[in-house]
């Protein structure tokens, strides 16, 4: 398989950890840390893309403590931001050009139904260029949301 003919579906990450728009930045950070990912798609209950949250986005927003971070919704961090997306059959060169033009580290892959199918990251592109990641296009897509919910523990004052 040559890089010139490689498509987004052949290099995209299919097993995704996602977060819902109403979750907190604290939850998003915890999910990223536990999953070892740098990008977290924000999707609604029907797996429709709202945006992509990066570690830098959460870090830039971080102020105050966990309680303050629990009161904000991640939707506010991705609102109004450009979120590049491609079809599964988009050439890898198009994906790389979108990343460069949008100055982002991930491009979403959406099916014809506008449902999130995968995510192509800069690591995926580099692995493809190195000839190490071509995957069969018919691999199953596995999009998972958070499996737990974080709530701040109220501080206890002692008499």
Residue 41: closest CA among 146, 99, 119: 119
Whether residue 84 is predicted with pLDDT greater than 90 in this model: the reply is: yes
Least confident range of 4-13, 24-33, 67-76, 89-98 = 67-76
Supply the DSSP symbol for 76. H
Measured CA distances, 125 to 9, 18, 25, 59, 117 (Å)? 12, 21, 27, 25, 17
Q: How many CB atoms lie within 10 A of CB 57?
A: 19
According to the model, what pLDDT value does residue 67 have? 60
Pick the range with the lowest mean pLDDT from 55-59, 75-79, 108-112, 150-154.
150-154
At residue 76, the pLDDT reads 86
């Amino acid at each position: 398989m040559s890089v010139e003919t490689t498509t987004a579906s052949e290099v995209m990450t299919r097993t995704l950890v996602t977060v819902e728009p109403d979750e907190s930045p604290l939850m998003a950070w915890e999910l990223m840390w536990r999953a070892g990912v740098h990008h977290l798609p924000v999707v609604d209950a029907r797996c429709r893309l709202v945006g992509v949250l990066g570690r830098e986005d959460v870090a830039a927003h971080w102020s105050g403590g966990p309680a303050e971070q629990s009161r904000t919704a991640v939707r506010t961090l991705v609102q109004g931001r450009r979120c590049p997306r491609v079809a599964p059959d988009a050439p890898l060169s198009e994906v790389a050009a979108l990343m460069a033009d949008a100055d982002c580290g991930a491009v979403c892959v959406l099916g014809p139904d506008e449902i999130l199918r995968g995510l192509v990251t800069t690591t995926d592109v580099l692995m493809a260029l190195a000839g190490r990641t071509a995957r069969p296009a018919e691999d199953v897509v596995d999009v998972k949301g958070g499996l737990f919910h974080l709530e701040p523990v109220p501080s206890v004052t002692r008499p």
